[in-house]
Amino acid sequence: MTGSALLLSRAQFAFTIGFHILWPAYTIGVSGFIVIISVLWLQTGRPVYRALLRFWVHLFALGFAMGVVTGLVMSYQIGTNWSAFAERTANVIGPFFTYEVLTAFFLEAGFVGVMLFGMNRVSPRLHFASCLAVALGALISAFWILAANSWMQTPAGFRLEADGKFALVSWIDAIFTPSLPYRYFHMVTAAYLAGTFVVIGVCGFYLWRRCHQEFARTGLSVALLIALVLVPVQGALGDLHGRNSFQYQPIKVAAMEGDWQTRRGQPVVLFAWPDVANERNDYELAIPGLGSLILTHDWNGLVPGLTSVSPQERPPVPYVFFAFRIMVGLWFLMLLLVVAGGWLMWRRRLDEVRFFHLACVWSSPLPFLAVLCGWIVTEVGRQPYVVYGHFRTADAVSPVAASAVAGSFALFILVYTSLLIAFFFYAIRTVLRGPIDEAAEQPAAVQPGLVSAPAGQAAE
C-alpha cells in the first residue's frame, strides 16, 4: 500500500460517505414533516393538509431511493478499500449493520409502498400508521449507524486479541458508548432541520412566485414553527456534544478551537489562520477566557492544547478548525431566518415580504452544508485513528494499487453526479408542477337528465 493509494482511498470514502449522508438527513427530516402533516390532516380534515401530504410523499420517495442506492455502496466499499478495518472490527461493526437491516430497513421497506401509493387505497389512519412506521424506521436505522460510529469514536465494551482483532466483552457497553446519546440526538435534529428547511425553501418559492398561496402559506407556517423549536435545541445539543468530545477526545476539540497551548483561561478563537508548521494561529481574533468557560464552566479552567501530544497524534487542524466555524456560522444564519419568520407570522405578514420568501429559497441548502461540516469535524477530528486510540487509519486500508482506487473514484464521481442530476431533474419538475389538484382528479359528477339511454330505448 503506497501513500497515494491511502490518500485516494480516504478521499473516495470521504466523497461517498459525504454524498450518502445527505439522503438520510433528507429522508429523516421529510418523513418527520410528513408525520406531522398526517396528524394535522387527521385532526382537522382540511384539504390543504392532504395536498401537502401527497406532495411531500412524492418528494420523499426521490430522496429515499437515493439513500438506498448510495447506502448499498458503503458496505461494499469497506470490504474493497478497507479490508483490514473490516477484518479487525467485524465482531463489533458487523452486527451493527445486520441489526440495522433487520430492525430498520425491513420496517421501512414494508410500509413505504403503502405510504407512497396507499393514500386513495387505504384508510387515512392506516396511511398515517405507514408514514409513522417509515419515519420510525429511519430513526432506528440512524441509531444503529450512529452507534457504530460512536463506538469508533469512543470505543467501549471490547478487548484487543493477540492478532489485533477487536473482541466483544459487553454488548451494552459497545452499543451505548459515552458519545452515542449526544451524537444521535445532534444528528437526528440536524436531519429534521434539513427536511424542514427543504419545506421552507419550496413553500417560500411558491409564495415568491405568487402561486399555490394557501398550500405554501400553510406549509411554511408549519415548517417555521418546527424550526423555531429545533434550531435553538440544536444549539444546546451541539454544546453538550462538544463538552462530551472535550471529555473523551480533547485533541479533537483543541483542533476545533484552534488551541495550540495547554493553558488556563483559554480564549474562544473567533477567527484565525492556523499555522501548523509553527504551531500557532495567525491573524487571530479571540475572546479571552471564554473557551475555558464553555468547556469547563470556569473562566480559569485548564484546557489542553494541540502541543500536548506529538504532531503524529494530531488531526489535520485547518480542516477541523474551519469546518467547525462554518457549521456554527450556518447555525446562526438558520436562527436568523426562523426568528424573522416567526416575527412575520406573529405580525400576519408571512405572505407579504417577498425578500423573506427569496431568503427561504436560498436557505434550503444551509442544514445540508452544516451536516457535511459537522461530519468533517467528527471524522477528520478523530484522525489519525479509525478506532480512536486503538487502530490507525493507515493500518485499516486494503492492499490495493493506487491506479485501481483512482479508477473507482473517478467512476463514483461520474455515477453520483449523474444520480444527483437525475434527482434534481425530477425534484424540480415536481416542484414546478406544484401540488396535485385533487378536484381535477375526481370524475365529473353526472347531472340529472344527461344520462344516455341504451340503444333502442327512449329515455324517460
The CA distance from 181 to 319, in Å, is 25
CB 228 within 8 A of CB 63: no
**DSSP characters for 400-424?**
--HHHHHHHHHHHHHHHHHHHHHHH
Residue 1: its pLDDT value, please? 52
Tell me if the bond preceding 384 is cis, omega within 30° of 0.
yes
Nearest to 171 by CA among 231, 98, 63: 98
Which residues, other chains included, contact 109 with Cβ-Cβ below 8 Å and sequence gap of 6+?
Answer: none
For 125, the domain range is: 3-262+304-435
Helix axes 180-209, 213-248, angle to 10 degrees: 160
Query: Is 367 a member of any domain?
Result: yes
Grid cell, residue 106, equals 425491513
**DSSP characters for 146-198?**
HHHHHHHHS--SEEE-TTS-EEES-HHHHHS-TTHHHHHHHHHHHHHHHHHHH
- pTM to 2 decimal places: 0.91
Nearest to 217 by CA among 98, 46, 87: 46
**DSSP characters for 304-364?**
--GGGS-GGGS--HHHHHHHHHHHHHHHHHHHHHHHHHHHHHHTT-TTT-HHHHHHHHHHT
CA distances from 125 to 38, 45, 218 (A): 9, 12, 22
CA distances from 17 to 9, 192, 246, 359, 376 (A): 12, 19, 25, 29, 11
Q: What is the pLDDT of residues 353-387, one digit of tens each?
A: 999 999 999 999 999 999 999 999 999 999 999 99
How many residues belong to the chain? 460
Q: What is the pLDDT of residues 386-411, one digit of tens each?
A: 999 999 999 999 888 888 899 999 99
Residue 459: its pLDDT value, please? 37
Query: Is 228 a member of any domain?
Result: yes
Query: Is 293 a member of any domain?
Result: no
Instruction: Provide the domain count of the chain.
Output: 1
The CA distance from 367 to 39, in Å, is 25
The CA distance from 333 to 197, in Å, is 12
Query: Is 330 a member of any domain?
Result: yes
User: Looking at residue 13, what DSSP letter applies?
Assistant: H
Nearest to 186 by CA among 126, 244, 131, 110: 244
3-state SS, residue 70:
helix
Query: Is 209 a member of any domain?
Result: yes
- What would the 3-class secondary structure string for 188-244 be? HHHHHHHHHHHHHHHHHHHHHHCCCHHHHHHHHHHHHHHHHHHHHHHHHHHHHHHHH
Residue 446: its pLDDT value, please? 38
Residue 76: its pLDDT value, please? 81
Query: Is 241 a member of any domain?
Result: yes
CB 391 within 8 A of CB 85: yes
Phi then psi for residue 279, to 5 deg, are 55, 55
Residue 4: its pLDDT value, please? 84
Query: Is 425 a member of any domain?
Result: yes
Query: Is 290 a member of any domain?
Result: no
Residue 264: its pLDDT value, please? 93
Longest dimension (CA), the chain: 102
Point out which residues pair with 264 in neighbouring strands: 302
Side chain identity, residue 126: L
The CA distance from 263 to 269, in Å, is 14
Contacts 24+ apart (CB under 8 A), 404-407: 405/5, 405/8, 405/9, 405/12, 405/81, 406/8
Per-10-residue mean pLDDT for the chain, 460 residues long? Answer: 80 93 96 96 92 94 92 84 91 89 85 88 91 95 95 94 91 95 97 97 94 93 96 96 95 95 92 93 92 91 93 94 97 96 92 92 96 96 94 90 90 94 95 73 40 38
